Every structure is written in C-alpha cells, then in structure tokens.
Structure 1
Amino acid sequence: MSKLVVSTFVSMDGVMQAPGGPNEDRAGGFEHGGWSVPYFGEDMGAIMVEQFAGMESLLLGRRTYEIFAAHWPGITDENDPVATKLNAMPKYVASRSLNHVEWNNSHLLRGDVAESVAELKRRSDGEINVQGSSNLIETLQRHDLVDEYRLLIEPVVLGTGKRLFATGTVPAAFKLTGARPTGTGVVFCTYERAGEPRYGSFESAD
C-alpha cells in the first residue's frame, strides 16, 4: 500500500495559494501570487531534488496538472533530475472537466475522487506525492487520506488566500519527523500521521 504525501509551500499564516507567480491562481481576487519566489535558494533547490527522487507517482488536481504539463515536457535536459523524474513517472489527475491528458504517463482518475485515490493507495507501492492542488488536498483531508505533510514554511504572512487546512479537515495528530532551516529563512518540516488528537487541560483541579 502506498503512502500519500502532500508537499507544499505555505506561508506562516497557512496560505498555499499561487506561490510561484502572479497569474498562477487569482481565485477569490488573490493578489499575492509569487510570494514564494524570493525565498527560493540553492538549499531549497536541493530539498526539491531530494523530494522528487523519493516519489513513485504524482497526484494532481486539474489546475496544477495544466501548469506542470505546460512547463515540464519542454525541459528535455537529461541532467535535470526534477524534469527527468516528472516527465517519466506516473501522474494521476483528479478532474471532472478534462476528457484526456497528454503529458507522458498521465492518467485521469474517474468517478468519486476520494474513492479513486483510496483505491490508488491500495493497489500502488511507494510514495504518491501531491504538489499544489489546493482543492484536491481539501478533498483528501476531508476523507483522512493524507499520511504525511512536507511543508516549506516561508517567513511571510499574507492575510488572505486558500489555506492548507480548510474547514472540514478531519482532526488528526501528527509527529514532527524532520525540520531543516534554509538560508532564506524557510523551514522544511515533515509531519507523519500519528493517530487521533489528544486533549488535556491546564485548569486547576481546584
């Protein structure tokens, strides 16, 4: 059975919308697109290479698929480890509007998204990684399908935008299994699923 991992850039106040450019996702009138770019340095690049090296397949929503498919097939340098991996690996696309996908080794998920992803996890091995795809992540969270988060937490507060954990997310406990700061102030944190939340009280017994 596969492990489903969500990897994303996220602001200090939890926003994950449009980190890579001003026109990446303007939904809701979002005006801060490209907020992640100033924090991308060499050590961030090394983290991305490490992440892609460990993936067996990629799971994407429609919008992120279209962004990736418009960019990565054009990078044919065999010495580029990210492009080489992305262009070759299996890619699964959750979409109600697409009728076909053309990027090499891409496959449309049909029917109910949560059921399709749960079945994909059961019949696959290795790591299924989700990049971007905020709407898809929201669905995965509501159905408790995420096993691990890899968050690149960036030193910026945006105040508006799509957040990583939206209303309806299933309550869950996680264990911090890694934390690495970068030279630009980003902290790369890995959280693994650790059962249900536990509760207590600081109130005095008196």
Structure 2
Amino acid sequence: MRKVTSSLFSSVDGVVESPNLWQFDHFDEDMGPAMEAALADMDTVLMGRKTYEQWAGYWPDPAHDDGFGDFINPVRKYVASRTLDGPLEWENSSLIEGGLEDFVTALRGSEGGTIGIQGSISVVRQLLFAGLLDELTLMVHPVVAGGGERLFRPEDPTTRLELKSSRITSSGNALLTYARRAD
C-alpha cells in the first residue's frame, strides 16, 4: 500500500497559511536536505483548489525555478475541488472525480511511490481525520505569526498522534513527524 504524507511549515502558534510571510529568515541549511528527503520517493501530489490556483500560476514559469519547479511541474498532480472545471492547464494535473476519501483509498492501493499532499490545509485535515494520512511533518519555525489559518480548529475531534521522528535545525526549527496512533 502506498503511503500518504504531508509536510507543512508552521509557526509556534500553529499558523500554516502563507509561510512565505514569516518563515524565510529561519530557512537554514538543514531545511533543504529535509525537504529533499520528503520529496525523494514522491511520485504523486494531491492538492486543493487554492494551492493549485496559486502554484499553477507560479511554478511553470522558469524564472521562478529554485529547484522545486523541477519536481512539481512534471509530477502527477490530482486536485480536489468542488468549483474547478477540467481539464486543468498545468501539466500532469487532473481533477479528482468523486469524493476525496474514496479517491485516495483507491490511489493508495495502486502501484507507485509516496503520495504527498502539498499545501492544501483542508485536504490535510480531511485525510488525517479520515485515517488516510500516514505521516504529518510539521516544520515549526520559532516565530509567532499571529494571524493566518491554523491547521487545527477548536471543533476538531481529539486525535491521538505518535511522534515518529524529531530534529532541531541550526536556527531552531523543530522538524516533527507524526502518525496517527493505532488505538
């Protein structure tokens, strides 16, 4: 069975939205290799509409390529959206037909490498609470962002996690990888 993972930049106060506004002064020499390792065996990407719309307008432009474009442009991308109509213009992008959880369950049973959720806070939340997210890595930066969307909400169900790995980078980022705890 294929593994489904997500890695998100997070502030100490739990903000995961728009990390470009608060994380780059702590993007140290340890972060690049950590991100490369997360992408190493990923051959399929899941994303929501907001991430798709932002990234499809940015990454295909060679002027923006800092190495991530070499990964994200050719990789197979599936987009969860109730409002987009297909076909999608960004290379190797398709809309998910039907329900997200059914689609991911079938995708997990297919041949291939790791399935990674890129950005897409609502997709991460839905798959975590449905038991379909195998690993969640939070790259917690030593900053209080204040405003912005947080990964978790007050109405979320109590969900037990197990710490799979942890590391502190040279500038104080905490790289924390969790899995749902099997009860």
TM-score normalised by length of structure 2: 0.87
Deviation at 1:180, TM superposition (A): 1.9
Instruction: Quote the offset at 1:73 in angstroms.
Output: 1.4
Shift of 1:5: 0.6
Aligned AA (2:178): Y
1:17 equivalent to 2:3? Answer no
Farther off after superposition, 119-128 or 56-65:
119-128
Instruction: For CA contacts below 8 A with separation 6 or more, give which structure has more relative contact order.
Output: 2
Partner in structure 1 of residue 78 of structure 2? 92
User: Kindly, what percent of the aligned residue pairs are identical?
Assistant: 38
Count matched residues: 182
Q: Which runs of 5+ in 2 are unaligned?
A: none
Letter in 2 for 1:163: R
Taking structure 1 as the reference length, what is the TM-score of the superposition?
0.78
> CA RMSD for the aligned pairs?
2.3
The 8 Å contact of residues 131 and 180 in structure 2, kept in 1 or not, is answered as no
Shift of 1:154: 1.0
Residue 57 (structure 2) pairs with residue 74 (structure 1): no
Instruction: Give the deviation of 1:13 after TM superposition.
Output: 2.1
- Deviation, 1:83, is 2.0
Cα distance, 1:76–1:124 mapped onto 2, change above 3 Å: farther
- Which is greater in Rg? 1
AA matched with 2:99: D
**In the alignment, is the contact (CA less than 8 A) between 1:179 and 1:188 conserved in 2?**
yes
1:111 to 98, 108, 111: 98
Shift of 1:124: 4.3
| Shift of residue 177, structure 1, vs aligned partner | 2.3
1:73–1:131 CA distance, 2 compared to 1 (3 A): same
Q: 1:2 to 1:166 in 2, by over 3 A?
A: farther
3-state SS in 2 of match to 1:151: strand
The equivalent residue for 1:6 is 6
